[in-house]
Structure 1
């Protein structure tokens, strides 16, 4: 249950308050680098888990939870600092909150959760790029953000299909 990948995921959860403190201290660009550090732990824990066959049900639940909680934190602080609109934040928040709640409900009902797929991983990278554009106030950041929101909705729909297929197969 407790292995290096899961401990890296816990470290990523612990980086959330660090991000908040750095951002609220007015060091928005430095906070972005805390976010990058969290992203690197995400890449590393997944790589180690797969390479060492240490993929666990706990990790399959905690990993996306850590990702979603970090992203929700980032988005809320971007709204708070007037870098994105409430509408964009609501779209991101509803999608991520739905995935968190859905995964928790499915886990506690004994249903299997779907591990991250390629589109989900791509969406995460695209969100990081959107945040980079927003934090450094680069052109077309808001247009790009809405494009990524659309892609993330498509990724969510794919997860729902995969979840249904996976759990139907388990019942058969």
Structure 2
């Protein structure tokens, strides 16, 4: 599919909607309009769900989508962690651990990719778990701001602790798996985005 036509693909338009919603979501959080922010978060989440669904239904798997979708997801999550930390809702140490993990994986993967040592970057099971827990944590944190209650507060604390533990553990597992693959010469070629699958 020609590059310009890829922008008109339904999945990619939904992904771009997620990017469009992001600044307005940030503004609503900073202004303390939690209900509006919660609605915008659900719009972003549904766009993420449906872009994958339409990509399969319409068979519109594009190179642009391969790069754009994970970038939009990571940008949304990273921005929310930063903004919610700025608002004093997520502890700073949690966000530091999350960003340290992502930055470390990004630097290592990029270095291996550009030096042609390794090009096929596969997510580890701990990496997938870490990402899933981060998403759930953000949903619970935002929900707790709209409907504050004791069970949500306890769940939020537990999830934040889980994020803090999983971030360095998943980074260590990823580094170990990558090191073993490099030593065994299992680089291989890949057309998928270099880093996106893990971070």
Normalised TM-score (structure 2): 0.66
Select 1:69's aligned residue among 71, 75, 79.
Answer: 75
Counterpart residue number, 1:139: 154
Q: Which has the larger radius of gyration?
A: 2
CA pair 33-95 structure 1, distance change in 2 beyond 3 A: farther
2:187 counterpart of 1:168: yes
Q: How far does residue 63 in structure 1 lie from its aligned partner after superposition?
A: 0.8
Q: Per-residue CA shift, 1:110-133, capped at 9, x if unaligned? A: 986758898766654432331233
2:86 pairs with 1:80? yes
Superposition CA RMSD, Å: 3.6
Residues 132 and 42 of structure 1: CA distance in aligned 2, closer, same or farther (over 3 Å)? closer
Q: Please, what TM-score do these two structures have when normalized by structure 1?
A: 0.74
CA distance in 2, matches of 1:134, 1:169: 40
Count of paired positions: 171
Distance 1:160 1:62 in 2: 28
Cα distance change on mapping 1:148 and 1:13 into 2, 3 Å: same
Structure 2: unaligned runs, 5 residues or longer: 1-5, 191-199
Tell me the SS of whatever aligns to 1:55.
coil
Cα contact 1:61–1:103 (8 A) shared by 2: no
